[in-house]
A and B are shown apart, each in its own frame.
Chain A
């Protein structure tokens, strides 16, 4: 049993109040995880201590947990309350989960990103549940005049064995508010968990399968108008002229206007990334009328010259300037430039030993280069937002991953104080990083302010896919030096991208090789990029794992044994000090996937196998992918996934995320790309942009978790990157060809 303090420096993480209609409410700090050092605490913002979650116990025994975090399909709306309910010993059937509105005066850090929701919420959620339970027990002890230690709880009920008394939580909830918040509470041992580690179905499942209005696009308000935007058709262009005469005269059209999303002197947050400064907006009664009027606009565009934009750093303490170069870019030129990036401009990110000397004396050097294209996020629900801005307040609603940042962006743009801006969060039809960049929230607010009416802004698929904030295009060259005994003596990675590098210099195999060099480069572009499910890892994992496969083959080693040998070295005698992974947990997932997939078993059945493993977002994932050739086409027959994400809170949902990440990874590596001609995206909708479909999905996916007592870590992103390596390696076995350029199967290959 663990005892934790509910206070720090006399400041409480919890606050108890009585509910107006009877019952108790416990406010708590959702994110008290990652126990801080005293120095960290002294540097922490005051808000860190503020209450950002609520737990209510009504007199009828219903437990309401208000979740501050956006739900983008990662199922936190079910999994996070399970953690509270566990420590509370609640009856899960009586737990209701509500989505909290954005309220920065009450809630802090409302953000979905970086696979952090469960990891950061773990301690705070457990503390809240345990505290409420302890207060209910104390209230019962007082009422029954028995020692609190003799009272037990189970399934939302308090029991006293000797007197035979029992009461539901609801009966004691009001009395519990008179109990002072305890300074210390007991947490359960993981072996006593009854809810955590059991499968609980999606709390919104029934609403989803019956088509209830849940998403931003479903939001409706009386008198609401519909707005759509027209943005430049190519990166590097800006608006020159608008002829809206025909569009304005069309039925149902209220107005056509031009807006600037941000003020010229505005210092942006990193979530205000936007390639287009000025947009044309069509406003009307219905979506179809607005869509038609948009087609009737006669718009002229012109190239812009390069300019600079001021951005705030993530903490907001500093600013930096970012260059937007002029010009209309082409994928062919991108590929050529990436291939020939000048060595002089490389930045050394890490160097161990003497890699130059080792490469010089090598008996054999293996060198391979890999590329990947820009990708669009393509959330199935296109960007949209509702706004109603009046002179004294702004009401907004919709799907966004960064409501707290957007509140500030909106305030700066429309000139209202933060406390006059209310953002309601809807369920989100996918996020994947796209909805971190909430320009559409600001646009909706500006449009509403200009036309003085409530409005829902809707992007068409084409508007969405061609707007930017893409996964960058990447390039990496790997070199490995082998000595005369075929031993690996040096390793070199040189990775870059447009416009950012995918390199993680301190991740495996750093730490496992004496002579190691990691170099990084970046190339400017006016095509905007953003976080895309497992940023940077989503490229570098797959190519690194494909390269290691080729090195193992040259060394005539089994690819799993080869990795395990390197990890053994990184465990027993690590090179360098900043190695950003736990080598034993890394080896653990490889060993598990080897066992579950019967890796050692040779087969001659035409099944080709590839392996990979990676660590990101605090979790470890290994894959074995089985491929068969069917009518000369590769078919993924089965994928084995071994995952170490610490304690698994909700297995049915966790398995779903791993399966989904696996399908998503295979799909993007195999089929997806966004290419450019004269700044214009060549794919604008799903007719030319390929996403994986049913027929192409693996026929089976088997997910195995490492049994663990470790604090839970991320799961939204980690299953996505490594599978691309296993896919490439299986594809080689199946076709005899190594595949270096994603997408592996493109309708129209892009070369040079």
Chain B
């Protein structure tokens, strides 16, 4: 066990865990931040997407020991009131069906728009390709990303 000081959603959090523990499980099991979802554990589905500084990463593949000084943002910290343009667009388009993958989709979309505020359709598809939605809400997700990009 090792002590880690992490900056998560703007706050300093301390955890005492095995250094190999993926951020996904640090968030879910040790910090009670369960908005970040477990889907596959091998970075293939995107349900566990968080931001490391401003980059979208799969938290199931980031050991806590690799985080260092980088700032972590999870779905819970994307906005104070749930009013990030991407979240608003998701509600406006009524995207979710079961909803399980959507936190990961939103985190990937938010990182994309930060880096590229006006992506083309192809750029949206490429950026979002690592996030699986079994309910098949892809067309709405794309519409929501475009709506957020316009706002």
Give every chain B residue within 8 A of A212 (Cβ-Cβ): 35
Q: Smallest Cβ distance from B148 to chain A, in angstroms?
A: 12
Main secondary structure of the interface of B (DSSP, over half): loop
Complex alpha-carbon distance, A581 and B106, angstroms = 42
Q: Contact between A74 and B97 (Cβ–Cβ < 8 Å)? A: yes
Complex alpha-carbon distance, A663 and B36, angstroms = 25
Complex alpha-carbon distance, A697 and B135, angstroms = 12
A694 to B, closest residue via Cβ:
B128
Complex alpha-carbon distance, A695 and B1, angstroms = 42
Q: Smallest Cβ distance from B9 to chain A, in angstroms?
A: 11
Give every chain A residue within 8 A of B78 (Cβ-Cβ): 210
Q: Smallest Cβ distance from B52 to chain A, in angstroms?
A: 17
Give every chain A residue within 8 A of B117 (Cβ-Cβ): none
Complex alpha-carbon distance, A206 and B99, angstroms = 11
Query: Which chain B residues (129-143) contact chain A, with CB distance < 8 Å?
Result: 129-142
Q: Contact between B42 and A430 (Cβ–Cβ < 8 Å)? A: no
Complex alpha-carbon distance, A663 and B134, angstroms = 9
Query: Which chain A residues (430-448) contact chain B, with CB distance < 8 Å?
Result: 430-432
Q: Contact between B142 and A211 (Cβ–Cβ < 8 Å)? A: no
Most buried by B among A204, A687, A694: A694
Range for the number of chain B residues in contact with chain A: 35 or more
Q: Contact between B139 and A211 (Cβ–Cβ < 8 Å)? A: no
Query: Which chain B residues (4-34) contact chain A, with CB distance < 8 Å?
Result: 17-18, 20-22, 25, 28-30, 32-34
Give every chain A residue within 8 A of B74 (Cβ-Cβ): 211
Q: Contact between B82 and A430 (Cβ–Cβ < 8 Å)? A: no
Q: Contact between B35 and A251 (Cβ–Cβ < 8 Å)? A: no
Q: Contact between A461 and B134 (Cβ–Cβ < 8 Å)? A: no
Q: Contact between B44 and A686 (Cβ–Cβ < 8 Å)? A: yes
Q: Contact between B97 and A660 (Cβ–Cβ < 8 Å)? A: yes
Give every chain B residue within 8 A of A695 (Cβ-Cβ): 125-126, 129
Given the interface pairs A380-B37, A380-B100, the reply to whether A685 lies near B139 with Cβ below 8 Å is no
Q: Contact between B44 and A687 (Cβ–Cβ < 8 Å)? A: yes
Give every chain B residue within 8 A of A428 (Cβ-Cβ): 98
User: Which residue in A429, A652, A653, A699 is a CB contact (below 8 Å) of B100?
Assistant: A429
Q: Contact between A667 and B136 (Cβ–Cβ < 8 Å)? A: yes
User: Which residue in B30, B90, B106 is a CB contact (below 8 Å) of A286?
Assistant: B30
Q: Contact between A664 and B136 (Cβ–Cβ < 8 Å)? A: yes
User: Which residue in A202, A220, A661, A664 is a CB contact (below 8 Å) of B96?
Assistant: A202
Complex alpha-carbon distance, A514 and B17, angstroms = 73
Given the interface pairs A209-B82, A656-B140, the reply to whether A686 lies near B134 with Cβ below 8 Å is no
Complex alpha-carbon distance, A700 and B18, angstroms = 47
Query: Which chain A residues (208-246) contact chain B, with CB distance < 8 Å?
Result: 208-215, 217-218, 220, 226
Given the interface pairs A210-B35, A288-B21, A656-B94, the reply to whether A697 lies near B138 with Cβ below 8 Å is yes
Q: Contact between A379 and B134 (Cβ–Cβ < 8 Å)? A: yes
Complex alpha-carbon distance, A707 and B36, angstroms = 41
* B103 sits at the interface (CB 8 A): yes
Give every chain A residue within 8 A of B128 (Cβ-Cβ): 694
Give every chain B residue within 8 A of A199 (Cβ-Cβ): 94
Query: Which chain A residues (665-708) contact chain B, with CB distance < 8 Å?
Result: 667, 685-687, 691-695, 697-701
Complex alpha-carbon distance, A213 and B36, angstroms = 10
Q: Contact between A653 and B94 (Cβ–Cβ < 8 Å)? A: yes
* A142 sits at the interface (CB 8 A): no
Q: Contact between A209 and B76 (Cβ–Cβ < 8 Å)? A: no
Give every chain A residue within 8 A of B102 (Cβ-Cβ): 208-209
Q: Smallest Cβ distance from B22 to chain A, in angstroms?
A: 7
A384 to B, closest residue via Cβ:
B38
A206 to B, closest residue via Cβ:
B82
In the assembled complex, 26 residue pairs joining A and B whose CB atoms fall closer than 8 Å, in A order, are: A73-B98, A73-B135, A75-B97, A206-B82, A206-B91, A208-B96, A208-B99, A210-B82, A215-B100, A286-B17, A286-B25, A288-B20, A379-B100, A380-B101, A380-B133, A382-B39, A429-B37, A430-B100, A656-B97, A663-B137, A664-B134, A664-B135, A664-B136, A685-B44, A686-B42, A698-B139
